[in-house]
Amino acid sequence: MQWGSLAEFVAMGGYGLYVWISFGATALCMGGEVLAVWRRSAAAAASRDES
């Protein structure tokens, strides 16, 4: 392990902004997609029960 402290880890050798935006955006997009598909399947299941 090359990180001496949490602050060092967050700083990512000065590239923290770029690294965390990349990982954050990826996590957000994936989470958002899962949520969207989940809601879509809930809506589909609800419409199926109606009929």
Partner 1 sequence: MSTTGTNWFKYSSPQAFHPLAGRLIPWFAAAAIGLSGVGLYLGFFVAPTDATQGDAYRIIFVHVPAAWMSMFLYVMMAVWAGIGLGLNARPSFMMAQAIAPTGALFTFLALLTGSMWGKPTWGAWWVWDARLTSELILLFQYIGIILLRSSIDDLRRADRASAVLALVGVVNVPIIYFSVRWWNTLHQGASVSITAAPSMAGSMVTAMLVMTLAFWMYSFAVTLARMRCVIVERERQPSWGKPAAIPDVAEAR
Contact positions vs partner 1 (CB under 8 A): 1-3, 9, 12-15, 18-19, 21-23, 25-26, 29-30, 33-34, 37-38, 40-41, 44-45, 47-48, 51
In the bound complex, what is the minimum distance in angstroms from residue 22's beta carbon to partner 1? Answer: 4
Alpha carbons 28 and 38: distance in angstroms, whole number: 15
Alpha carbons 18 and 35: distance in angstroms, whole number: 25
CA distances from 24 to 2, 18, 45 (A): 22, 10, 31
In the bound complex, what is the minimum distance in angstroms from residue 17's beta carbon to partner 1? Answer: 8
In the bound complex, what is the minimum distance in angstroms from residue 7's beta carbon to partner 1? Answer: 13
